[in-house]
Amino acid sequence: MALRYWRWWPWSAWSRTRPPPSESTQSFRQQFSTQEQTPQICVVGSGPAGFYTAQHLLKHHSRAHVDIYEKQLVPFGLVRFGVAPDHPEVKNVINTFTRTAQSDRCAFHGNVVVGRDVTVQELRDAYHAVVLSYGAEDNQALEIPGEELPGVFSARAFVGWYNGLPENRALAPDLSCDTAVVVGQGNVALDVARILLTPPEHLEELREMIQLPGTRPILDPADFLGLQDRIKEVPRPRKRLMELLLRAATEEPEVAEVARRASASRAWGLRFFRSPQQVLPSPDGRRVAGIRLAVTRLEGVGEATRAVPTGDVEDLPCGLVLSSIGYKSRPIDPSVPFDPKLGVIPNVEGRVVDVPGLYCSGWVKRGPTGVITTTMTDSFVTGQILLQDLKAGLLPSGPRPGYAAVKALLGSRGVWPVSFSDWEKLDAEEVSQGQGAGKPREKLLDPQEMLRLLGR
């Protein structure tokens, strides 16, 4: 039997004597290295888009580690601060997000403002990939005279106020007026109207508003002329909504309903073909007293249809104006491209244009549209694209320091990150305070108080 033996060459000697690898060999090694290492990925924003992106990455890559950065001290974004308090079932996704955050391959870092406390470039240096999922933190302005008057608020700020968003805790809207005008008729506008109409003990969507105790709807049948035939063509959810409005506006109510409406102390209505023109001041000019609306009509056909002014105006007295015409994203960092007209980060399927290794998901990716399930699907797409790029060797190879590098930077800048276990302590405190008041929780509003509770 022949005797065989191996001789182990020092790496340096072997590397000097071996022939240079082919391009295909280099590509294979890069791909293999990227797949076998622990990908360090960070997500900026802990709302639905951020958590769903993290969830997808952790589920579909067995070694990936995900750090989630959030400017608030607490997680969950609009699920905590944007969902109306009478829709607790929507907040159930927090249970799913909590399981993601408790994974040993995921970490939450609150109280960190990306773009101020740490730059996007510094995150890109520390991680293999960065996903921007910070949502739409601003609101579309009405851009009409009088918008700056006291008593005029964005619906976004108003929702933040009644949902306990720390930055809106000092809003202090005067709710003693007889009439409030909500400009816009989207989901947020209806949430705001419902909250204004309903006592805390009996909060209920539009379909419940029609039967809301102590209220009566004011709907002009003329606004619904010709609608019966046209609603047959619209998608089912909108069709059901329009049928509900049509019945409430045009059908004769039953005797019991007539009596109920007659005794109602509050009323609500939807006004169509109106465009805000000016917020009217009180005689002393110190607060809002009404709003001037331009009467409009539709011109054009199909997608070219536009609402154009007729020349008539209508003045509506009110003591509160809430603008609910859309949310808007802000640019986060000078190094990140941003389209100010569309209010999004330019991207292709979540890949930020011309910035390899940088991705986006949620409203900052597609604009402030859709519901939580829309955001879930969108975020999964971004996560899948990132993993495809990782597998193809398009992301940086070799180890990255991840949070270790960022932690050092934050420490040198006097920033105190809040962990998910810290949040669980704050959560327990809120629940405890709420029990004393007979509520599910009493939200903590002051960031300094939160930090004191955490011993910072």
Is 191 an annotated catalytic residue? yes
Tell me how far apart the alpha carbons of residues 49 and 27 are, in angstroms, rounded to a whole number: 33
Half-sphere exposure of 139 (CA within 13 A, CB side): 19
Single out the catalytic residue among 56, 117, 128, 191: 191
β-bridge mates for residue 82, sequence order? none
- Residue 117: name the closest of 170, 46, 44 by CA: 44
Residue with tokens 């569309």: 342
Query: Got the DSSP string for 337-376?
Result: --BTTTTB--EETTEETT-TTEEE-THHHH-S-S-HHHHH
Is 215 an annotated catalytic residue? no
Helices marked H in 82-148: 93-101, 120-126
Q: Copy the structure tokens of residue 53.
A: 């992106």
Tell me how far apart the alpha carbons of residues 278 and 294 are, in angstroms, rounded to a whole number: 9
Single out the catalytic residue among 372, 374, 385, 427: 372
Single out the catalytic residue among 25, 60, 87, 218: 87
Is 86 an annotated catalytic residue? no
Tell me how far apart the alpha carbons of residues 377 and 357 are, in angstroms, rounded to a whole number: 21
The span from the first CA to the last CA of the chain, in angstroms, equals 73
State the maximum Cα–Cα separation within the chain, in Å, rounded to a whole number. Answer: 111
Q: Report in angstroms the alpha-carbon separations of 108 from 131, 244, 412, 420.
A: 14, 43, 20, 5
Is 373 an annotated catalytic residue? yes
Tell me how far apart the alpha carbons of residues 102 and 28 are, in angstroms, rounded to a whole number: 34
Burial, 132: exposed, middle or buried (Cβ in 10 Å; 0-12, 13-18, 19+)? buried
Tell me how far apart the alpha carbons of residues 375 and 149 are, in angstroms, rounded to a whole number: 35
Tell me how far apart the alpha carbons of residues 441 and 290 are, in angstroms, rounded to a whole number: 36
- Residue 100: name the closest of 383, 329, 454, 369 by CA: 383
Single out the catalytic residue among 174, 373, 377, 446: 373
**Residue 117, Cβ neighbours under 10 Å: how many?**
18
Residue with tokens 């389209």: 339
Q: Report in angstroms the alpha-carbon separations of 238 from 170, 234, 235, 251, 397.
A: 37, 7, 6, 19, 49
Residue with tokens 């941003």: 338
Q: Would you call 272 helix, strand, or coil by DSSP?
A: coil
- Active site residues per annotation: 87, 191, 372-373
